């Protein structure tokens, strides 16, 4: 905690967690109703505080029919897929792409899409955001705005003219209409980025690859409370926030894709985390469409274009999807995009495959050259250095993308104090490129059950650290209390214990 600063987390504890307002303040349990209640507006999927900068932030909201998600005792929907040409039924397999498949969805007796396992369906209503600097008495507030089924009953509020390096409190309210005396309320908060000239301590966390079937806690995933304990100023999800193409209910329709988001982000651990940490969302393959997907792909009735639009709908991701954010004098982060910008399967048959594309590469060159940050951290949804498995051909560490990869690694090699952090791989590692000396940290999977993919007994010369069979996350901290600023990077297990760390001083 920075000396002399008021702890936003202490303030949040004083204000409470999730409350409902009905002629006063009531505890969470007072808001719980059984599935099917439609007379009030709720927020079972929580809120997201997205893309904070020194002066702006986006607040993602969603109105739901019920106060809480449908329980795990509820039945799953039944999904069957048929070949459009032959009519034959197709087997549902993980990582499969049903290009010519026709999905048919049915529900067990007594259930519908609003009462299936983990469901949190949207509902008509209005929502607004109130916000203020922590400790201030005066609230600013947006207008009440209606939500619509066309956007899954979500609404994104852009807040601007905020003060740099400042803790803000937020209240997100939902009601049925202007005559409704009841409003559900979620309290949260965030910190804006310090101004570029300000020497400031900054703490952050990075995670990837959370598969619903591999969650390790009744509340969701153990890593979320572990990360909260570190009190991060911001958080990055590098991709695969949901897995459309895994489990018994593949997202072969738009409704089923939205179901994946609702059942994941209505989990208590996720609702608690995202209401109080500013987050940056990056997309990868499983939360765009399916494993190793490209522009132009489709699976069932769900297309690659649908996946791009739905990701923005559910995360409030900024445009363009690749972006850079300054966090004070000593830290700048780059968030790369590797799905929307990559070449199609058809183009790859005749041309060298492209992942980032010329426009993004030019932007990366320009912004790196123009940065005077002490430390530069490039976050990528898929590896650049690796090494990766020889059977893969989906990222810049694979042979198929060697031309673009060499250009990027040569660019990074010319930068002082630059570190690459990658998601996607289900094991933790730290590696150094043997030709360019570029260092890359892999954050690992979100749970132990989802960790796999390499042989821990066979490290490569590039590996400075290698850990398989266990999930975890990365935490980072810019520290300014010494003679020179340092960047401390740590790989943590799901409980938060440090398994590897390295501190870099300014060079």
Q: What is the pLDDT of residue 34?
A: 37
Based on C-alpha coordinates, what's the Rg of the chain?
22
What is the per-residue pLDDT across 325-370, written as a single tens digit (0 to 9) for each? Answer: 999 999 999 999 999 999 999 999 999 999 999 999 999 999 999 9
Under 8 Å between Cβ of 332 and 373: yes
pLDDT digits (tens, 9 = 90+) for 437-486: 999 999 999 999 999 988 888 899 999 999 999 999 999 999 998 678 99
Q: At residue 373, what are phi and psi to the nearest 5 degrees?
A: -65, 145
With cut-offs at 50, 70 and 90, classify the pLDDT of residue 507. Answer: low
Tokens read off for 447: 């749970």
Cross-strand pairs, 430: 441, 465
The C-alpha torsion from 327 through 330 and 333 to 334, rounded to 10°, is 130
Query: CA–CA separation, 316 vs 241, rounded Å?
Result: 14
User: Which residues have a Cβ under 8 Å from the Cβ of 110 and sit 6 or more positions away?
Assistant: none
CATH class, domain 1-192+240-281+283-316, is mainly beta
Please check the confidence at residue 31 and state whether its pLDDT lies above 60. Answer: no
Q: Concatenated DSSP letters for 154-188?
A: EEEEEE-SPPTT-EEEEEEEEESSTT---EEEEEE
User: What contacts 155, CB < 8 A, 6 or more positions away?
Assistant: 60, 61, 62, 63, 127, 145, 147
Percent of the chain with pLDDT over 90: 86
Closest CA to 412 of 334, 340, 355: 334
Q: Please give the model's pTM, rounded to 2 decimal places.
A: 0.91
Domain spans in the chain, listed from the N-terminal domain onward: 1-192+240-281+283-316, 202-239+319-505
At 38, the pLDDT band (50, 70, 90 cuts) reads low
Mean pLDDT of the chain: 91
The third-level CATH classification (topology) of the domain covering 202-239+319-505 is: Purple Acid Phosphatase; chain A, domain 2 (3.60.21)
pLDDT at 481: 85
Could you tell me what percent of the chain has a pLDDT over 70? 92
Go through the chain and tell me how many residues it has. Answer: 507
Closest by Cα among 454, 404, 401, 400 to 424: 454
Q: For 13-29, what is the mean pLDDT? A: 31
Two domains, one topology: 1-192+240-281+283-316 and 202-239+319-505: no
Asked whether residue 201 carries a pLDDT value surpassing 90, the answer given is yes
- pLDDT tens digits, 402-443: 999 999 999 999 898 999 999 999 999 999 999 899 999 999
pLDDT score for 17: 34
pLDDT of 16 strictly over 70: no
């Amino acid at each position: 905690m920075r000396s002399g600063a008021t702890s936003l987390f202490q303030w949040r504890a004083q204000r409470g967690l999730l409350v409902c307002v009905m002629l006063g303040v009531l505890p969470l349990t007072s808001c719980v109703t059984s599935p099917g209640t439609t007379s009030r507006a709720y927020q079972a999927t929580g809120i997201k505080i997205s893309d904070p900068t020194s002066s702006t932030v986006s607040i993602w909201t969603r109105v739901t029919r019920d106060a809480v998600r449908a329980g795990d005792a509820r039945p799953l929907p039944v999904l069957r897929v048929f070949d459009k040409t032959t009519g034959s039924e197709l087997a549902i397999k993980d990582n499969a792409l049903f290009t010519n498949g026709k999905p048919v969805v049915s529900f067990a007796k007594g259930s519908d899409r609003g009462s299936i396992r983990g469901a949190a369906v949207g509902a008509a209503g209005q929502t607004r955001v109130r916000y203020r600097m922590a400790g201030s008495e005066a609230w600013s507030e947006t207008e009440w705005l209606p939500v619509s089924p066309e956007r899954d009953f979500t609404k994104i509020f852009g807040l601007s003219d905020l003060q740099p390096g400042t803790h803000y409190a937020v209240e997100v309210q939902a009601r049925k209409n202007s005559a409704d005396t009841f409003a559900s309320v979620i309290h949260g908060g965030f910190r804006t980025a310090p101004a570029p000239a300000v020497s400031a301590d900054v703490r952050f966390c990075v995670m990837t690859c959370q598969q619903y079937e591999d969650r390790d806690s009744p509340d969701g995933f153990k890593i979320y409370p572990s990360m909260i304990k570190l009190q991060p100023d911001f958080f990055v999800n590098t991709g695969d926030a949901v897995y459309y193409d895994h489990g018994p209910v593949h997202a072969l329709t738009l409704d089923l894709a939205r179901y994946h988001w609702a059942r994941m982000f209505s989990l208590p651990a996720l609702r608690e985390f995202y209401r109080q940490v500013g987050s940056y969302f990056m997309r990868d393959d499983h939360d765009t469409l399916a494993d190793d997907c490209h522009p132009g792909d489709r699976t069932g009735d769900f297309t690659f274009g649908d996946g791009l639009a739905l990701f923005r709908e559910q995360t409030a991701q900024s445009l363009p999807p690749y972006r850079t954010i300054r966090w004070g004098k000593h830290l700048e982060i780059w968030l790369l995009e590797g799905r929307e910008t990559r070449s199609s399967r058809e183009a790859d048959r005749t041309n060298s495959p492209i992942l980032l594309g010329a426009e993004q590469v030019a932007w990366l060159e320009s912004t790196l050259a123009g940065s005077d940050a002490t430390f530069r951290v490039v976050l990528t949804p898929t590896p650049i250095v690796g090494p990766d498995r020889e059977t893969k051909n989906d990222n810049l560490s694979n042979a198929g993308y060697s031309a673009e990869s060499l250009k990027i690694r040569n660019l990074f090699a010319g930068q002082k104090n630059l570190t690459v952090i990658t998601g996607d791989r289900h094991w933790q590692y730290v590696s150094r490129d043997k030709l360019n000396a570029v260092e890359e940290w892999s954050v690992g999977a979100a749970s132990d059950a989802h960790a796999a993919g390499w042989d821990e007994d066979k490290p490569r010369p590039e590996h400075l650290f290698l850990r398989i069979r266990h999930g975890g996350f990365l935490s980072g901290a810019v520290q300014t209390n010494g003679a020179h600023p340092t960047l401390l990077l740590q790989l943590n297990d799901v409980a938060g214990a440090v398994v590897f760390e390295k501190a870099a001083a300014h060079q």
